[in-house]
């Protein structure tokens, strides 16, 4: 596969992960909404990882700011809407830390991929 196809596929995967995160974060708890540190961490490690891969040429700081804003918007929505959910600052901290972990894992995967690519002499770059 060429670079453009891979990046589009990763962007679609990222959009799906973001949609799933929004869905479970914003439906009422009694209807299956998910909350708590473990769920936040799982969601934002995934989002950070996919963000780093899909936007490999963007600064990690830009990705972290975007994911932090996404987490903040979720928390504000939980606080403002009548969802039987609570806006919690601790959840935002978990989102940011998990995003850093996901971005770091993505950076490691990219570095390993690039090293393998350079060793094998292939032309496609991600």
pLDDT digits (tens, 9 = 90+) for 16-71: 999 999 998 888 777 766 667 899 999 999 999 999 999 999 999 999 999 999 99
Q: How many other β-carbons are positioned within 10 Å of the β-carbon of residue 83? A: 17
Q: What is the pLDDT of residue 16?
A: 97
Q: What is the pLDDT of residue 41?
A: 94
**DSSP state for residue 30 in the 8-state scheme:** G
Q: What is the pLDDT of residue 32?
A: 65
Q: What is the pLDDT of residue 3?
A: 80
Q: How far is CA 32 from CA 19, 44, 80, in A?
A: 15, 19, 19
Q: What is the pLDDT of residue 125?
A: 55
Which residues neighbour 27 within 8 Å (Cβ) at sequence distance 6 or greater? 33, 83
- For the stretch 94-117, pLDDT in tens is 999 999 999 999 999 999 988 888
8 A C-beta contact, residue 95 and residue 36: no
Q: pTM of the full predicted structure?
A: 0.88
């Amino acid at each position: 596969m060429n670079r453009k196809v891979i990046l589009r596929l990763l962007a679609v995967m990222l959009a799906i992960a973001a949609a799933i995160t929004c869905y479970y974060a914003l439906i009422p708890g009694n209807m299956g909404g998910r909350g708590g540190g473990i769920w936040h961490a799982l969601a934002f490690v995934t989002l950070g990882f996919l963000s780093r891969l899909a936007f490999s040429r963007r600064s990690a700081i830009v990705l972290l700011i975007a994911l932090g804003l996404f987490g903040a918007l979720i928390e504000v929505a939980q606080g403002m809407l009548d969802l039987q959910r609570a806006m919690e600052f601790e959840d935002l901290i978990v989102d940011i830390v998990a995003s850093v972990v996901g971005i770091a894992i993505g950076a490691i995967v990219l570095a390993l991929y690039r090293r393998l690519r350079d060793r094998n002499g292939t032309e496609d770059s991600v």
